[in-house]
Structure 1
Amino acid sequence: MTHLLQAIRSKGIGAVEDVTAVVLETDGRFSVLSRSQTGSGSSLQDVRKPVRAQPGK
């Protein structure tokens, strides 16, 4: 979690709520996209969306 927060801060983002996506790249680095940077989201086409746990399971 520390590395993730560090990656967010390094992009100048002060609130996790302002992050649209964090991608673990094939080289081990995190790519962080803020809400203002996402645009159409076309750069995320090859990224799998996380599977979210369902409440009660």
Structure 2
Amino acid sequence: MFDRSPRQVRLTGVGERLPPEARAVPAAGDRARAAAAPAGPAPPHVRAGGPTPAPNGCPR
């Protein structure tokens, strides 16, 4: 993503294209939360993302 030389650091083509896409990620999360909000809060036993804990409470 960067071209580095002893005198400067410049973005590569990929480095120039990535920031607008990265900035769009939080907005996409906001839209997803807004879309799910009418359904109300999830029951306590429902997890959204991340690993599910083992039955004994220890991580797998």
Q: TM-score range by the shorter chain?
A: under 0.3
TM-score (ref. length: structure 1): 0.22
In terms of fraction of residues, the more helix-rich structure is 2
Larger relative contact order (Cα-Cα within 8 Å, sequence gap ≥ 6): 1
User: Over alpha carbons, which structure has the higher Rg?
Assistant: 2
Q: Which is richer in strand? A: 1
TM-score when normalising by structure 2: 0.21
